[in-house]
C-alpha cells in the first residue's frame, strides 16, 4: 500500500516538475521571440523581400555581363551601367579581395560608380557569369534608423573572353548588403518600402 | 576497309576521352556546389546551424534531417577540421571539444544572435606615421529604438600601448602646487609613460579614445579589415572563437577555430580577450 502511494506521489511530482520546467523554458524562449519580432519583419514580408533580393541580385549580375562585354553596343553597355547603379543605395562600395600568387590577399575598395566604370573598360569581348544555385539570404533585421538590413551570399564563376580565348576566370563569393528603406513614391504620392543593394564584399575563393 | 576500321576505333577512343572529360568537369561542378552548400557562408548561418535551426540549404531543421544528423554531429561539423590539434588527434583538445558538444546538446543551449556577449574582433590594417600596422577593433551589438547596431567597444594596438607600470616610486602632485602656479605639471607631463599615476583615483586609460584622437589628428589612417574573429561568451564557462576559412573543401566558411573552458564571468572574459 505504502509503495503504491509512493509511486503515485512520484508520478504527480514528476508531472508538476515537467510542467514547471517546460514553462520556464517557454518563458525564456518567448522573451527571445518577442525581441526578435520587435526587430524583424514578419515571415510573410521576409518571403516577399527574399524573393525581391534574389531578383535584384540577378538583375545586377546581368548588368555586369552586359557592361563587361565589349561585343555589346556601347549604348546598351552605358544603359546597363546606369541601370545597375539605380539598384544601389547611395554611397555603396565594392571591396574585392584577390589571392596573390604568394598566397597573400590584396584588398581594394571602390565606390560602386568607379567599380562599374572600371569593369566597362576591361578588355573582355564577352563576359560569362555562371551561378551556383545556392544563394544564402539571412533574415532581415531592423536598424536603429528604421530601415531593414540583410546580407545575401552568392557564389559565381566569372569568365572574361577575348574572342574565343579565356583571358580571366575566377570563382568569387560575394556578400551583398541588402537595405529596405521607406521611400517616397511620386507616382502614388505615398511612402513605400523599397529594396536596395548596399556594400558588396567579393572574395576570391581559395583552392584547398 | 582496314583504314575505316582504324578510323572507327580512333573515333571510339576520342568519344570515350571526350565523354570522360565531360563527366569529370560535371562532377567537378557538382563537387563545387556541394562544397558551397556545406560552406558556412555567413556568421548568421553559423549561429543558425549551431542552434540546430537550419539545415545545409538554410531550410528549417525538420524530423527527417534530425533522423539523419544529430545535433552533436551537426555541431561537430562546425569545427575547423584543419586545426592541427584535431589533425594530430590531440586527445586533450578532442576531449574538450566532445565535452563542449555534450554540454551544449544535453542542455539544449542556444546562442542568441543579438547577445551582447558576441564580440567581433575586426583585425584591421592602418597606417600609423606612414607605417602599416595591424590593430584589433572590438565591437558588439546594441539595441536602440527596437533596432540593432554594432558599436565600437575597444581598440588594441601596439602604438596605443603607451603607459608603463611602476609600483616602486610614489608619484603625485604635491598639495601646495596650486600656490606655485602648478609649476610641477611640467615635471608630470615630462614623466614619460607614467603620467597616469598623477590622474584621479580609479582612472583607467581608454585606448578607444586615444585611437579616435589619433585618427582625427592624422596620426593614424584607417585602411580596411583583414579578418574578423568572433568571440562568443554566451555559454557560461566557455569562450568560443569563430573565424572564416576560405578554402575549397566541405569544411569551410565560418567555423570554430578554438574553444576555451573558463571560470571567468563574461566581463572578466572580455577583459582577458582584449588584453591578451
Does any domain span residue B112? no
Same domain, B98 and B153: no
The domain boundary residue, chosen from B75, B106, B137:
B106
pLDDT digits 0-9 by tens, A81-99:
999 999 999 999 999 887 7
Same domain, B128 and B191: yes
Instruction: For residues B127 and B220, state if they share a domain.
Output: yes
Please indicate if any CB of chain A lies within 8 Å of the CB of B30: no
Same domain for B71 and B145: no
Same domain membership, residue B24 and residue B157: no
**Angle formed by the axes of helices A112-121 and A74-86, to 10°?**
160
Torsion of CA B270, B272, B275, B276, to 10 degrees: -130
CB contact under 8 A, B145 and A144: yes
Q: Residue A25: pLDDT above 60?
A: no
The DSSP-derived string for B142-176 is EEETTEEEEEEEEEE-GGG------SSS-----TT
pLDDT attached to residue A207: 56
In chain B, alpha helices (H):
2-38, 43-50, 63-68, 71-76, 84-87, 91-106, 184-190, 207-216, 266-275
Q: Write out chain B's pLDDT in tens, 276 residues.
A: 455 555 555 544 444 444 443 333 444 444 555 567 889 999 999 999 999 999 998 899 999 999 999 999 999 999 999 999 999 988 999 999 999 999 999 999 999 999 999 999 999 999 999 899 999 999 999 998 889 999 999 999 999 999 999 989 999 999 999 999 999 999 999 999 999 999 999 999 999 999 999 999 999 999 999 999 999 999 999 999 999 998 888 999 999 999 999 999 888 898 888 876
- Rounded CA gap, A203 and B31, in Å? 19
- The predicted structure's pLDDT at residue B152: 97
User: Where among B72, B106, B140 does a domain terminate?
Assistant: B106
Say yes or no: A109 contacts chain B, CB-CB below 8 A.
yes
| pLDDT of A28 over the 70 cut | no
B194: left (phi over 0), alpha (psi -120 to 50) or beta: alpha
Cβ B119 vs Cβ B153: under 8 Å: yes
Residue A2 clears pLDDT 60, i.e. is over it: no
Query: In terms of domains, do B20 and B63 share one?
Result: no
The reply to whether residue A207 touches residue B247, judged by beta carbons under 8 angstroms, is: yes
Looking at beta carbons, which residues of chain B come within 8 Å of A34?
none
β-pair type (A190-204, A148-162): unpaired
| pLDDT higher than threshold 60 for residue A66 | yes
Question: pTM to 2 decimals?
Answer: 0.81
Question: For residue B272, what is its C-alpha cell?
Answer: 582577458
Residue A5 banded pLDDT, cuts 50, 70, 90: low
Does A138 reach chain B within 8 Å, measured CB to CB?
A: yes
Nearest-5° Cα angle at A90, A87 to A91: 120
Residue of A nearest to B108 (CA): A25
If one counts the domains in chain B, the total is: 3
**What was the pLDDT predicted at B15?**
45
- Whole-number average pLDDT of chain A: 79
Could you tell me if B203 and B250 lie in one domain?
Answer: yes
Q: Are A154 and A176 in contact (CB under 8 A)?
A: yes
Geometric angle at alpha carbon B75, from B74 and B78, rounded to 5°: 100
Question: Does A168 reach chain B within 8 Å, measured CB to CB?
Answer: no
Cα separation, B276 vs B266, whole angstroms: 15
Of the candidates B104, B237, B227, the one whose C-alpha atom is nearest the C-alpha of residue A104 is B227
Residue B172 sits in the same domain as residue B122: yes
User: B257 with B78: CB under 8 angstroms?
Assistant: no
CB contact burial B220-258 (16+ within 10 A = b; e otherwise):
beeeeeeebbbbbbbbeebbbbbbbbbbeebbbbbbbbb
Nearest to B247 among A107, A138, A208 (CB): A208
Asked if the C-beta of A145 comes within 8 angstroms of chain B's C-beta atoms, the answer is yes
Residue B111 lies in a domain: no
Strand spans (E) along chain A = 93-99, 105-111, 126-131, 136-137, 141-142, 148-162, 165-185, 190-204
Q: Do B224 and A39 touch (CB under 8 A)?
A: no
In this prediction, residue B33 carries a pLDDT of 59
Alpha carbon distance, N-terminus to C-terminus of chain A: 70
Does residue B22 sit in the same domain as residue B141?
no
pLDDT at res. B189: 97
Residue A120 has pLDDT above 90, yes or no: no
Task: Choose, out of B29, B44, B114, B234, the residue to mutate when testing the contact with A (most A CBs < 10 Å).
Answer: B44
Task: Tell me the shortest Cα–Cα distance from A171 to chain B, in angstroms.
Answer: 10
Looking at the structure, tell me whether residues B23 and B130 fall in a common domain.
Answer: no
Cα dihedral B170→B171→B176→B178 (10° resolution): -170
CA A130 from centre of chain: 18
Rounded Cα distance, B96 and B239, in Å:
12
Query: In terms of Cα–Cα distance, which of B107, B246, B44, B75 is closest to A21?
Result: B107
* CB nearest B146 (choices: A38, A133, A206): A38
The closest alpha carbon to A167, from A127, A118, A132, belongs to A127
CB–CB contact B147 A151 (8 Å):
no
In a domain, B125, yes or no: yes
| B131 located within any domain | yes
Is B186 exposed, middle or buried, given 0-12, 13-18 or 19+ CB atoms closer than 10 A? exposed
| CA dist., res. B158 & res. B136, Å (int) | 10
Given a cut of 70, whether residue A70 has pLDDT beyond it is yes
Whether residue A28 lies within 8 A of chain B, CB to CB, comes out as no
Half-sphere exposure of A40 (CA within 13 A, CB side): 17
Please report, for residues A25, A30, A45, A145, B113, the alpha-carbon distance to residue A35 in angstroms, rounded to integers and kept in the order given. Answer: 16, 9, 17, 17, 11
Best A136, A145, A170 residue to mutate vs chain B (most B CBs within 10 Å): A136
Q: How far apart are CA A14 and CA B53, in angstroms?
A: 29
* Range with lowest mean pLDDT among A15-19, A70-74, B119-123: A15-19
On whether both B100 and B153 belong to a single domain, the answer is no
The set of cell numbers assigned to B207 is 585606448
- Type and span of the H or E element at A48: helix A43-68
**What is the Cα–Cα distance from B16 to B14, expressed in whole angstroms?**
5
Triad A16, A20, A21: Cα angle to 5°: 115
Q: Are A56 and A164 in contact, with CB atoms under 8 Å apart? A: no
Helix (H, G, I), strand (E, B) or coil at B87: helix
Q: Do B131 and B268 lie in a common domain?
A: yes
Range of the domain at B238: 118-275
Q: What is the pLDDT of residues A155-199, one digit of tens each?
A: 888 888 988 898 888 888 899 999 999 888 888 888 888 899 999
Q: Among B83, B106, B129, which residue terminates a domain?
A: B106
Amino acid at each position: 500500500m505504502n509503495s503504491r502511494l509512493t509511486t503515485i506521489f512520484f508520478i504527480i511530482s514528476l508531472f508538476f516538475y515537467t510542467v514547471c520546467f517546460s514553462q520556464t523554458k517557454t518563458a525564456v524562449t518567448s522573451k527571445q521571440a518577442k525581441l526578435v519580432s520587435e526587430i524583424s519583419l514578419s515571415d510573410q514580408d521576409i518571403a516577399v523581400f527574399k524573393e525581391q533580393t534574389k531578383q535584384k541580385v540577378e538583375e545586377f549580375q546581368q548588368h555586369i555581363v552586359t557592361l563587361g562585354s565589349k561585343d555589346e553596343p556601347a549604348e546598351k553597355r552605358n544603359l546597363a551601367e546606369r541601370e545597375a547603379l539605380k539598384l544601389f543605395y547611395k554611397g555603396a562600395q565594392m571591396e574585392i579581395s584577390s589571392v596573390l600568387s604568394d598566397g597573400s590577399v590584396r584588398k581594394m575598395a571602390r565606390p560602386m560608380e568607379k567599380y562599374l566604370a572600371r569593369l566597362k573598360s576591361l578588355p573582355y569581348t564577352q563576359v560569362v557569369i555562371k551561378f551556383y544555385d545556392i544563394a544564402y539570404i539571412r533574415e532581415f533585421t531592423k536598424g536603429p534608423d528604421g530601415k531593414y538590413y540583410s546580407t545575401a551570399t552568392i557564389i559565381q564563376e566569372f569568365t572574361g573572353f577575348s574572342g574565343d580565348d579565356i583571358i580571366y576566370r575566377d570563382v568569387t563569393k560575394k556578400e551583398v548588403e541588402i537595405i529596405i528603406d521607406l521611400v517616397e513614391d511620386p507616382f502614388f504620392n505615398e511612402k513605400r518600402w523599397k529594396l536596395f543593394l548596399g556594400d558588396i564584399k567579393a572574395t576570391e575563393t581559395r583552392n584547398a | 576497309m582496314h583504314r575505316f576500321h582504324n578510323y572507327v576505333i580512333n573515333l571510339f577512343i576520342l568519344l570515350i576521352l571526350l565523354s570522360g572529360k565531360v563527366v569529370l568537369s560535371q562532377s567537378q561542378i557538382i563537387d563545387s556546389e556541394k562544397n558551397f552548400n556545406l560552406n558556412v557562408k555567413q556568421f548568421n548561418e553559423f549561429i543558425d546551424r549551431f542552434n540546430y535551426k537550419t539545415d545545409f540549404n538554410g531550410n528549417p531543421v525538420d524530423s527527417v534531417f534530425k533522423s539523419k544528423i544529430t545535433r552533436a554531429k551537426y555541431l561537430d561539423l562546425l569545427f575547423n577540421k584543419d586545426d592541427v590539434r584535431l589533425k594530430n588527434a590531440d586527445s586533450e583538445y578532442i576531449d574538450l571539444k566532445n565535452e563542449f558538444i555534450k554540454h551544449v546538446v544535453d542542455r539544449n543551449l542556444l546562442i542568441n544572435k543579438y547577445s551582447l556577449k558576441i564580440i567581433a574582433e575586426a583585425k584591421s590594417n592602418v597606417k600609423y606615421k606612414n607605417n602599416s600596422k595591424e590593430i584589433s577593433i572590438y565591437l558588439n551589438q546594441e539595441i536602440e529604438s527596437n533596432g540593432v547596431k554594432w558599436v565600437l567597444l575597444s581598440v588594441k594596438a601596439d602604438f596605443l600601448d603607451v603607459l608603463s607600470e611602476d609600483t616602486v616610486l610614489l608619484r603625485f602632485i604635491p598639495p601646495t602646487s596650486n600656490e606655485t602656479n602648478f609649476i610641477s605639471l611640467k615635471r608630470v607631463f615630462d614623466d614619460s609613460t607614467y603620467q597616469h599615476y598623477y590622474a584621479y583615483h580609479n582612472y583607467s586609460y581608454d585606448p578607444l579614445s586615444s585611437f579616435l584622437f589619433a585618427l582625427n589628428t592624422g596620426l593614424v589612417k584607417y585602411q580596411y579589415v583583414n579578418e574578423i574573429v568572433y568571440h562568443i561568451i554566451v555559454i557560461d564557462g566557455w569562450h568560443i572563437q569563430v573565424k572564416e576559412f576560405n578554402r575549397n573543401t566541405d569544411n569551410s566558411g565560418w567555423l570554430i577555430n578554438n574553444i576555451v573552458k573558463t571560470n571567468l564571468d563574461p566581463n572578466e572574459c572580455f577583459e582577458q580577450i582584449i588584453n591578451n
